Amino acid sequence: MDPLGGAPRLLLLFSGKRKSGKDFVTEALQSRLRVDVCAVLRLSSPLKKQYAQEHGLDFQRLLDASAYKEAYRKDMIRWGEERRQADPGCFCRSIVKGVSQPVWLVSDTRRVSDIQWFRETYGATVYTVRVVASEQSRQQRGWVFTPGVDDVESECDLDNFGVFDWVIENHGDEQHLEEQLENLIEFIHSRL
């Protein structure tokens, strides 16, 4: 049992570049597994909430894919890095409080320190999933390279991570994506 109140049977840490489809994939998995079995956790939520409170901003608008969020993204990244340097697990601890489902999907793992924290806290239940998409696919979803965003730790720390337990290709081929999701769902069911 973990010190935060509950431990998952399976914890999947999803990572990938901006507009690769991390949220899309985790939400698709959750819809197939049911909310009573599977929780989607977002490391960016407590970060955005605290940032909004400290800066007098609209938290809900920081959560969506809007120009509002993009206007604050660079400063949020800087601010979040300062918090993580002081306490690498600060946002990780925040998202797991009170979660009771047996399967946890962390939709936005961005740093080696995030993976290390989850592995140290939850051990063998933790698996890494990298969502990849071609630059062209990402551009079709609205991605534009932004200096100070796409070339910093929050976007690049896992580029040379090593071997991920799962790689999901999300280049726009719906049938191929569906096959990959089915394989991952079979794996999840085998752990329950």
Residue 84 structural domain: 10-191
**Residues sharing a CB contact under 8 Å with residue 165, sequence separation 6 or more, in sequence order:** 127, 128, 129
Is 4 a member of any domain?
Answer: no
The C-alpha atoms of residue 32 and residue 34 are separated, in whole angstroms, by: 6
Is 171 a member of any domain?
Answer: yes
Residues at the binding site for substrate are 170
Is 67 a member of any domain?
Answer: yes
Is 172 a member of any domain?
Answer: yes
**The pLDDT of residue 2:** 43
> What confidence tens digit (pLDDT) does each residue in 120-136 have?
999 999 999 999 999 99
Is 3 a member of any domain?
Answer: no
Question: Domain with 149 in it: what CATH number?
Answer: 3.40.50.300
The C-alpha atoms of residue 130 and residue 163 are separated, in whole angstroms, by: 9
Give the mean model confidence (pLDDT) for residues 29-49: 90
Is 2 a member of any domain?
Answer: no
- How many independent structural domains does the chain possess? 1
The phi, psi pair for 174, rounded to 5°, reads: -60, -40
Residues at the binding site for ATP are 17-23, 141, 171, 180
Residues at the binding site are 17-23, 141, 170-171, 180
Higher pLDDT, 81 or 130: 130
Is 1 a member of any domain?
Answer: no
CB 180 within 8 A of CB 146: no
Q: Is the pLDDT of residue 1 over 70?
A: no
**The pLDDT of residue 188:** 96
SS3 42: coil
pLDDT-derived band at 64 (thresholds 50, 70, 90) equals confident
Quote the pTM value.
Answer: 0.87
SS3 readout for 111-146: CHHHHHHHHHHHHHHEEEEEEECCHHHHHHCCCCCC
